[in-house]
Amino acid sequence: MEDARRHYLDLIRHDGVRLSPALARAFAAVAREVFVPDGFHRRDGSRVLPADPEFLRSVYSNDVLVTKLNGRQPISSSSQPSLMAIMLEALDVRPGQRVLEIGAGTGYNAALLATLGADVTTVDVQGDVADRARAALARAGITGVRVEAADGYTGGPDGEYDRIIVTVGVAGISPFWTERLLPGGRIVAPVEHAGMHPVLAAGVSGEASVVCPAGFMSAAGPLAARHEGSHPQPPAGPLTGLEEVSRPRWGVSLEALAYRDLWFAAGAWHRRVTYASVPGREQSLLAVLGDGDRHAAVVLPDGGVLASSDRCAAVALALADRWWSLGRPPMSAWRATLAQAGPLLVPRDWRIGP
Please list the active-site residues.
79
Cβ atoms of 331 and 199 closer than 8 Å: no
Strands 296-299 and 285-289: antiparallel
Closest by CA to 243, choosing from 289, 278, 195, 276, is 278
Alpha helices in 170-309 (DSSP H): 175-180, 256-269
Helix, strand and coil in the chain, % to nearest 5:
30, 30, 40
d(CA 309, CA 297): 7
Cβ atoms of 82 and 23 closer than 8 Å: no
Strands (E), the chain: 40-41, 47-48, 65-70, 73-78, 98-102, 119-124, 145-149, 161-166, 181-190, 199-203, 207-212, 243-246, 273-276, 285-289, 296-299, 305-307, 334-341, 344-352
- Residues making up the chain, counted from first to last: 354
Closest by CA to 301, choosing from 350, 236, 251, is 251
Closest by CA to 211, choosing from 188, 177, 185, is 188
